[in-house]
Amino acid sequence: MGPKERVWGYTGATGMVQGFSAGYFLWDVVMSAKHMDVLGPGSLMHAVSALAVSLLGFVRAHHRWSTGKFR
């Protein structure tokens, strides 16, 4: 990791790991919905919220420092 990646906090490898985690949570949403009778609504809510949080990491606007300006 070079100086630029240390400042911006992003490399291709971190993006790949984030993509894998989003894929896992998408799978978790599908399985929680499919097996709602066994897992219950709490498991589905947890899966949906975890997917939302992992997807928010892809949105540049949620990284205040990513533009180089603090608002």
Domain residues of the chain, as ranges?
A: 22-64
Is 55:24 a contact under the CB 8 Å cutoff? no
The yes-or-no verdict on residue 24 having pLDDT over 80 is: yes
Residue environment code for 29-68, b if the CB has 16+ CB neighbours within 10 A, otherwise e: beebeeeeeebeeebbeebeebbeebeebeeeeeeeeeee
Going by pLDDT thresholds of 50, 70 and 90, the confidence category of residue 70 is: very low
The residue ranking higher by pLDDT, 69 or 40, is: 40
Residue 31 pLDDT exceeds 60: yes
What would the mean pLDDT of 3-21 be, rounded to a whole number? 77
Mean pLDDT of 38-47: 96
